[in-house]
Amino acid sequence: ETGVTQTPRHLVMGMTNKKSLKCEQHLGHNAMYWYKQSAKKPLELMFVYSLEERVENNSVPSRFSPECPNSSHLFLHLHTLQPEDSALYLCASSQDRFYEQYFGPGTRLTVT
């Protein structure tokens, strides 16, 4: 238990669906991150939020839309995804940007 929770743990969605991934951290951290991990590939940093402000967007397609309503919660809204978007989506938080990151268990997403 790292203090970072993610829901749902597993999600299957069609290409025309809209869904959201939720991340919550109970550590009092100021920075939160979304990562994508595809099979046999390195983790890809998608978005970084610091004090609820998005500070990094690493060329992620617009079908992924992050939201950070407060420093404890982070969402990833998904719409019209492609099968190649199937992956493990990991949320992390840290005290400040790029300090030690604590990862959640991830959401295993399958796009059919």
Partner 1 sequence: LAKTTQPISMDSYEGQEVNITCSHNNIATNDYITWYQQFPSQGPRFIIQGYKTKVTNEVASLFIPADRKSSTLSLPRVSLSDTAVYYCLVGDWGLTGGGNKLTFGTGTQLKVEL
CB of 99 to partner 1, least distance (A): 5
- 16, 8, 1, 7: which is closest to 83 by C-alpha? 16
Contact 64, 18 (CB under 8 A): no
42 binds partner 1, rule: CB under 8 A: yes
Of 11-19, 60-68, 72-80, 98-106, which segment contacts partner 1 by CB under 8 A? 98-106
All residues at 6 or more sequence positions from 41 whose CB lies less than 8 Å from its CB, including other chains: none
The residue (of 8 and 18) whose beta carbon lies closer to partner 1 is 8
Find, among 20, 39, 23, 21, the residue nearest to 84 by Cα: 39
Rounded to a whole number of angstroms, the CA Rg of the chain reads 13
Q: Smallest gap, in angstroms, from Cβ of residue 70 to partner 1? A: 21
Residue of 24, 25, 45 lying closest to 89 (CA atoms): 45
Q: By CB under 8 A, is residue 78 in contact with partner 1? A: no
Would you count residue 99 as binding partner 1 (CB under 8 A)? yes
Q: Which stretch binds partner 1 (CB under 8 A): 12-20, 40-48, 67-75, 79-87?
A: 40-48
Residue numbers of the site for partner 1 (CB under 8 A)? 2, 4, 35, 41-43, 45, 56, 58, 88, 90-92, 96-106, 108
